[in-house]
A = this chain, B = another copy of it.
Amino acid sequence: MTIRIGVIGTGVMGAGHASMLASQIAGCEVVAVADADEARAKVVAGKVGAARVFSDGKALIGDTGVDAVVVASPDPTHHPLVMECLRQVKPVLCEKPLGTNSTECREIVETEMRSGRRLVQVGFMRRFDPGYEAVKAALTEERHGLPLFLHCIHRNAVAASYTTSEAIILNTAVHEIDAARFLLGEEFVSATVRGTRATRSAPSRTPQFLLLETASGVLVDIEAFVDAQYGYDVRAELVCEKGAMSLAQTHAVRTWSSGTVGNSLYADWMGRFDDAYRRELQAWVQSIRSWKAVGASAWDGYVSTRTAELCLEAYRSRQTVTIDIEERPAFYA
């Protein structure tokens, strides 16, 4: 059974997903592409051999030739498009964020639960990164004892000029929030957030530092810095009772040149997490064939957004804020 996929959104992420699904993922084909900019959709459709092109995402979802949907259109469209997928009972892989706020995310959760079937996967691709998977496996085995600290670094080389300090928490740090939840398997109970001085290259916003406590007493700290200039750099170190593990970009080639020895860094997440994206898409396609949900659920999408909102409150108030997430419904166990 070949899964017939429709891709909504043909920006960098959508075009990348469409191309990867068509050329590197077993068990599927891309049959439809949608974008408000229909010309752009046509170009992508041509490249991946998709016969149908739509300017309206909902029309694509309604197409009977489409078995499953990737939502990679602008953030405000995520909620309505995912809701439509639920209505049409079609599996959907929605790029993060699931909604623009926790209320939207929560509505998706409620609707999915009422539908009685897990249809939504949120595109937190790190859950499929070999590094994160290996750290989680070691933690699950308690190979180094119980966790104590998780140090996270998230640096982008450049950010859009309109990015704000708030957006750094809601859109950047949220990746670390989900990754930490994934690794540790528990929720946060408090957040303290501080900014540094602003940089001269981006004086309107400030690099952020989040300090979070989990229910069991693990401290998670997150540096979120989107103007690091030198490259894209995502790292993490998990410190346990008798050992530690770190993960970072892997480097196939080491170079000696001009007085230095070192490695090239990726410019952005597309290179750094290329393998994670591929594995995420492959696992998603396989999950549709096997009816067994994988990856970040709608619930994870909701909790990450809700946690980030409370971190924003902590940043604004300079107070330690309590994070009080509802218990996870059995539906998402």
Contact = CB atoms under 8 A, between A and B. Distances in A.
A interface secondary structure, majority: mixed
Nearest to A131: B252
Interface stretch (A80-88, A98-106, A216-224): A216-224
Interface string A1-23: 01000000000000000000111
Contacts of A140: none
A146 B252 contact: no
Given A209-B221, A219-B194, A264-B259, A229 B253 contact: no
Q: How large is the interface on A (under 10, 10 to 19, 20 to 34, 35 or more residues)?
A: 35 or more
Contact of A216 (B28, B197, B213): B197
A190 to B, nearest CB: 9
Most chain B CB within 10 A, of A24, A151, A259, is at: A259
A257 B230 contact: yes
B250 A250 contact: yes
Nearest to A254: B246
Contacts of A135: 253
Interface in A239-277: 239, 241-248, 250-265, 267, 275
Given A23-B282, A149-B225, A231-B261, 14 more contacts: A23-B286, A134-B252, A194-B211, A209-B211, A228-B242, A230-B258, A243-B255, A244-B257, A245-B253, A245-B255, A247-B252, A248-B254, A255-B262, A260-B263
A148 B261 contact: no
Contact of A265 (B25, B145, B201, B259): B259
A251 to B, nearest CB: 7
Contacts of A275: 275
A267 B250 CA distance: 19
A229 B245 CA distance: 14
Interface in A201-215: 201, 207, 209, 211, 213
A36 interface: no
Contacts of A258: 230, 243
Which among A231, A241, A245 has the greatest number of chain B C-beta atoms within 10 A?
Answer: A241
Contacts of A161: none
A199 interface: yes
Contacts of A148: 196-197, 199, 207, 225
A40 interface: no
B259 A261 contact: no
A95 interface: no
A181 interface: no
A248 B131 CA distance: 17
